[in-house]
Amino acid sequence: MSILRRLTPLGFPALIVVLLPMAWVLDDYATKTLTSILVLGLLAASVALLTGVAGLPTLGQTAPYLVGAYTAATLVRHDVSIGVVQLLAAAAAGALFSLVTAPLVVYARGVVVLMITLALGELTMTVAGRWKSVTHGTDGLLAFAAPAPLPGLVTLDTDRATYLYVLTVVAVLVGVMLLVLRSPAGALLRAARDGEARMRASGHPVAGYLTVAYVAAGGLAGAAGSLLVTVERYVSPGAGGFDISALVLLAVVIGGATSLVGALLGAGLVVATRDWIASRDWFGGSMAGHAPLVLGGLFILCVYLLPRGLLGKRTAHE
């Protein structure tokens, strides 16, 4: 994996360059699947930021994801048709949700974080199912009007246009996060993950740094929620269920938890496995309907063959 890692700084622009022409290469179904992968990939990147970089393993990023999705859907229903406005509002809502819940998360460590974030995710999904006046309960919210990315641009009526919009947003957001992580901010987060006691002994406010990371990850997840609504024109509580949390964490583990680009690739692998291999009649149709089984097998293979994931950094203890 060392060659892959050495190419990491170039990997992300290269990935975008490869993905861009796919809009004209793939058929509608594949384009739509790839768009969904990018949306989940952005959610996975927010999970990787917390799990791999900041050392807070999370099963709860579906919570700000749902908050963002409902925010965007509500805006669409109130005739706010500018994509970027929906996106920023959803990101802000996701970040605000994370700011409010941060005290529950940033003082805990390890499996306790996993349990707290799991509870936050489940609670948010339950609220989305019960708060009918806002969310329409389990019926979900239809948000049918296609947005225009910016004022004056065409509306996203085709799968290709939607794909290009989602790709642009993911490229910008993940690109910015990568730059931030290459700055001192990245060094501070990694240091907090590596040795918290030493951080305190050096006078660094660890909980403060983790709060910033958690809020930023909430913003990313909220933005992913807005993209979900742009793609699906609909959101229901199930969009943020435990199966999605688990799927995304799986994508992060497979991609290499310390790498945001790895999270995108992992999301691609996981969704492709779920939606293509296990739903088409490959292998004589014997795999059809067995997506969880195939995903489980994939996970076990990855843990044994790639313990650090596709793009994960070698930790110094190895």
Partner 1 sequence: MSDLLAVDGLGRRYGDLAALDGVDLRVAPGDRLGLIGPNGAGKSTLLNLIAGSLRPTAGRIRFDGRDVTRLAPARRARLGIGRTHQHPAVWASLPALDNVLVAARLPWGRFRAGRRAKPREHARELLAGVGLTGVEQTLAGALSHGQRRQLELAMALAGEPRLLLLDEPAAGLAPPEVEVLASLLASLPLTVAILLVEHHLDLVYGFADRITVLHSGRHVHTGTVPETRSSPEVAAAYAGVAP
- Quick check: helix, strand or coil at residue 311? coil
Closest approach, Cβ 32 to partner 1, in A, equals 38
Binding region for partner 1 (CB under 8 A) out of 15-23, 25-33, 193-201, 286-294:
193-201
Task: Find the binder of partner 1 among 15, 20, 199, 288 (CB under 8 A).
Answer: 199
Residues 145-184, mask of contacts with partner 1 (x by CB under 8 A):
--------------------------------------xx
Beta bridge partners of 148: 82
Phi, psi of 141 (to 5 degrees): -110, 125
Closest approach, Cβ 190 to partner 1, in A, equals 5
Task: Find the binder of partner 1 among 197, 285, 304, 305 (CB under 8 A).
Answer: 197
* Residue 6 lies near partner 1 (rule: CB under 8 A): no
* Residue 5 lies near partner 1 (rule: CB under 8 A): no
Exposure string of 82-96, with b = 16+ CB inside 10 Å and e = fewer, is bbbbbbebbbbbbbb
Exposure string of 172-192, with b = 16+ CB inside 10 Å and e = fewer, is ebbeebbeebeeebeebbbbb
* Residue 316 lies near partner 1 (rule: CB under 8 A): yes
Question: Residue 77: exposed, middle, or buried by beta-carbon count in 10 A (0-12, 13-18, 19+)?
Answer: middle
Question: What is the rounded CA–CA span in Å between residue 11 and residue 27?
Answer: 25
Closest approach, Cβ 182 to partner 1, in A, equals 10
- Beta carbons of 140 and 255 less than 8 angstroms apart: no
Task: Find the binder of partner 1 among 13, 103, 195, 289 (CB under 8 A).
Answer: 195
* Residue 1 lies near partner 1 (rule: CB under 8 A): no
Question: Is the sign of the CA dihedral 107, 110, 112, 118 positive or negative?
Answer: positive
Comparing CB distances to partner 1, the nearer of 82 and 199 is: 199
CA distances from 196 to 49, 203, 210, 314 (A): 17, 11, 11, 20
* Residue 103 lies near partner 1 (rule: CB under 8 A): no
Comparing CB distances to partner 1, the nearer of 60 and 312 is: 312
Comparing CB distances to partner 1, the nearer of 195 and 292 is: 195
Comparing CB distances to partner 1, the nearer of 127 and 185 is: 185
Question: What is the rounded CA–CA span in Å between residue 148 and residue 143?
Answer: 14
Comparing CB distances to partner 1, the nearer of 8 and 158 is: 8
Site residues for partner 1 per CB under 8 A: 183-184, 187-188, 190-191, 193-195, 197-206, 313, 315-317
